Chains A and B, each alone.
Chain A
C-alpha cells in the first residue's frame, strides 16, 4: 500500500495495451466481451481480488431461478425522488433518469426492486470513509429505491453527481456516475452496475469504465440526454435502459409471482 502511485500516463499505457490485445482477439473472430475483465490490472483493487481459476459452469437450480420478492408496498413513493428526502433543496443540477429494465428477449422485467446510490453534485458520498474534501450537502443523501412497473419502466428524480478523485493512481478521477443495483426474476440475473453521462471527458482515463474492453459493450453504460424527459423550468432528462441476462436462467412460470 505504500508503493508509489502510477501516473495517469502509465495507467493509460496499460489500458491501451489491453485494449489493442482485445481488439486483435475480436479481429481473430473472438466473441465480444460483454462484461468487464475480472482481473484488470489498471484497476489496482482488482489485482488481489479476482479469482484465478476459471468459473465453474453451472445450470441454475430452483433457488437460482427464483429471486427474492419485493412489491410496491416495500417501497415508499418518495424514495424515487432523491431531492425531497430532507428539509431543503439539494444543490446541483436536478435531473430525471428514466428507462426500462428488460431481459435478454426484450421482455419487461416488472415489479422488481431497483436501488440506486450516488455522490452529491460536489462529488462526495455520505460515507464515513469518503473523506475527499468536497462539501457534504445537508439536503442530499443520494439513496433511492423504486420497483419497476408492469412495462419494466423506472424513473428517479435526483441531482447530477459530480466526478470525484480516488486513489487508484496519481490524479485519478471517476467519471460522474450513478450506481444501480437490480434483481431480476431469477437470482442469476442479479446486477450491480454504474450509469454514466454522455460526453464525459474522463471516460478514456478511467480504469473501471475501461475494464469493459469491448467499446460497444461499455457504451451501453452511457445514458442519453432526452429532451422529451426534460421538464420545463424543472429538470433535465436522461434515458437509460438496462438488459439483464437472457431467459435461459429465468423460470418462466414464476413471472407472475412478483405482484
Chain B
C-alpha cells in the first residue's frame, strides 16, 4: 500500500523539554483525571529525584491509564476536561520540592493483565523523556506476578519494587521516580 520507501522516514530526534515549559504545557485540571469528590478517587503522588537525592523542580509527569474497569478511554477533550468524563490522561508539573500529585482512579486490568498506569517523565536535563509503569499491585504479590507479566519478568527481582505504586494512606498511593542512583526506577524502552 505504501508509496514510500520505509528508509526515508527516520525518527526525528528528541530534545529536552527545558526548564521553561511552565507557561505552555501545564493546563487547568491537568493533574485531575477525576474530581477529588469522585467516590473512587485516589491520590497518585510522588517525587521525581535526581542522582544525589534532590527533587526536580522542573519536571513534568504525564500519566495515561485505563479507568477502574480496565476500559481505555477514547473520549475527546483530554486537555479540556469537563470534570466528569474520564479521558485517561493527566499532566502535572512538579513543585519546588519535586513533588507531583494526580487525582485519578485505580487503573483496572486490561485483558487480564496486571493493572498499571503508564508514566512519562520530562525534565530539564532529560534529553529524551522516560517511560515507566506504576503497577497497582500489592508488593507481596510481585514475585507471583513476575511469573506472568512480561515486563516484571524481565526486570531483576531487586528492582521490581520501583514499579509499584505503594499504598501510603486511605485512597493514596506513592510512586517516587528516581532518575539515577540507589533505587533507580526501572525505565522502559518500547522502540526495540
Contacts and interface: CB of A to CB of B under 8 A. Distances in A.
Contacts of B19: 127, 129
Nearest to B62: A190
A150 to B, nearest CB: 16
A217 interface: yes
Contacts, number: 239
Interface of A: 34-38, 40, 43, 45-53, 55-64, 66-71, 73-74, 102-107, 113, 115-117, 119, 125-130, 141-143, 179, 181, 187-188, 190-194, 208-209, 211-212, 217-218, 220-221, 242-246, 249, 257
Interface of B: 2-4, 6, 8-25, 50-52, 54, 56, 58, 62, 64-66, 72-80, 87-89, 110-111, 113, 116, 118, 120, 122-131, 150-151, 154-155, 159, 179-181, 184-192
A190 B15 contact: no
B20 A129 contact: yes
Contacts of A50: 125-127, 179-180
Given A45-B124, A117-B24, 18 more contacts: A36-B15, A49-B180, A51-B130, A51-B180, A56-B154, A61-B113, A63-B64, A63-B118, A66-B74, A68-B89, A74-B77, A74-B78, A104-B11, A129-B22, A181-B25, A191-B14, A192-B16, A194-B15
B88 to A, nearest CB: 6
Contact of B23 (A43, A46, A143, A193): A143
B64 A106 contact: no
Contact of A188 (B65, B89, B179, B191): B191
A211 B127 contact: yes
A116 B14 CA distance: 14
Contacts of A141: 23
Nearest to A40: B127
A48 B50 CA distance: 6
> Which one of A56, A59, A113, A190 has the highest number of Cβ atoms from chain B below 10 Å of its Cβ?
A56
A63 B70 CA distance: 10
A116 B17 CA distance: 11
Contacts of A35: 11, 13-14, 127-128
A38 B180 contact: no
B81 to A, nearest CB: 11
A244 B14 CA distance: 10
Contacts of B50: 48-49
Contact of A106 (B4, B58, B75): B4
